[in-house]
Amino acid sequence: MSLKSILARSAGKLTRWGLTTFTRGGSSLPGKVATTIDPNILSHLANDYHVIIITGTNGKTLTTALTVQALQTTFDHIITNPTGSNMAQGIVSTFLSAPALPKGHKGIAVLEVDEGSLKHVVKHLQPIAFVHTNVFRDQMDRYGEIYSIYQLMTDAAKQAPEATIIANGDSPLFNSIELPNPRIYFGFDHESDHDVTPHYNTDGLLCPHCHKILQYHALTYANLGKYYCPSCDFKRPELTDKVTQLDELALTHSRFAINGHPFRIPVAGLYNIYNALAAYSVASFLGVKPDDIAQGFARAGRVFGRQEIFEIDGKKVLLNLVKNPVGLNQVLELIGLDKNPFTLVSILNNRYADGTDVSWIWDGNYEQIVDFPIEQVITSGMRADEMTLRLKVAGINPAIMAQVESHDEIIQRIQQADTEYVHILATYTAMLDLRETLIKRGYLKK
């Protein structure tokens, strides 16, 4: 390590010490300080680690958390970026905060990486594997269409051609072009073939070879499933790891089988079973046994802002992040499992991290919630007017709706709600800001 790198690492560690000692901490500033001194510091920091990069539109954070839990049953010296700080400076900060490795040992770094940041970090990290979770329309002002997002992912993969791509085989996009990397596919294979048609507003349904509309023998959600082209030989690839059975889809947990082995995770939804399946594929790729993976999953907790459960003065609250139409629809289906009367809170921001274009809410299927046992609706956020209008158009009775300005008002409305149960849907910065208020008022721990 050069003198510049040593100075950069020391400055970054000193910054982290100052932040954790005198403030509430900071996930990216140490990395910013270090990279300002040495733009190549990440190469030096990552040199002693086998790196797994997890990327895609939805599910990165939980897939990362489950992967870490599974690997910890077998390996020591695992680091990760658990706060979701998934851009270059935050990733540098992750390495700066890691404990020193024993001499002669290599660690494992399981890193969630933002799709837009891949090109900035892959050349430094030189991963042994990429995990591609899915690609859906998301923050179009930043990423563009799904094909632009996938281009970012494939360009990054080409920078590390020896790295294995562990990809969602149910996504047609991930099988659409040739790459130099070895590939492993995971997906759902729990039901007999039958004809099924995706929703007419679904993205990514054209065959990449002949541009005819794809058809499906099985469909989980959106464009994910056992696809095939009726006009050419394009079809879902062979799956190495597959969900072979769905046993229970509850509001608080899921039970299922992968390759015939039973698993349980403490979160709900088909989309989270995909996350568990991706984590299983990574762990299996590294030689972890199925029983050990199951033990790791059993120890996993909920990730902040993703089906996070807490109470506000006796009200049972479930907080979910929403950020794009596909993810929103999955969360709405999830809360539809709640048969208890509940209050719905929807907070819509449009800062850069949320996506400045909020037109995506009009592609979400809010119409389905009209039949849910909702007794009160509270809207808030920077674009509360738009959120209120969207719910009215969906068919929510304006008489049960209230629009409020602040998080304190949201909390007050929840305290006064007639229902025992509350569901909160929030975009990214809205979720972070609300959690900060809840922490200050003692309803959440940091």
| Crossing angle between the packed helical segments 290-299 and 270-285, to the nearest 10 degrees | 130
396 phi/psi in degrees, rounded to 5? -70, 135
Annotated active-site residue in 357, 371, 418, 433: 357
For 436, residues 6+ apart whose C-beta sits below 8 A from its C-beta are none
CA–CA gap between residue 411 and residue 315 (Å, rounded)? 10
357 is catalytic: yes
321 phi/psi in degrees, rounded to 5? -80, 135
Tokens of 3: 């003198």
Whether the CB-CB separation of 293 and 70 falls below 8 Å is answered with yes
CA–CA gap between residue 242 and residue 97 (Å, rounded)? 36
Reported as type and span, the H/E element at residue 392 is helix 384-394
Tell me the residue length of the chain. Answer: 446
User: Using only C-alpha atoms, what is the Rg of the chain?
Assistant: 22
Note the maximum CA span of the chain. Answer: 67
CA–CA gap between residue 319 and residue 267 (Å, rounded)? 12
347 phi/psi in degrees, rounded to 5? -120, 120
Strands of the sheet containing 129-132, edge to edge, are: 78-80, 107-112, 49-55, 129-132, 164-168, 183-188, 241-249, 254-258, 261-265
Which amino acids are annotated catalytic?
357
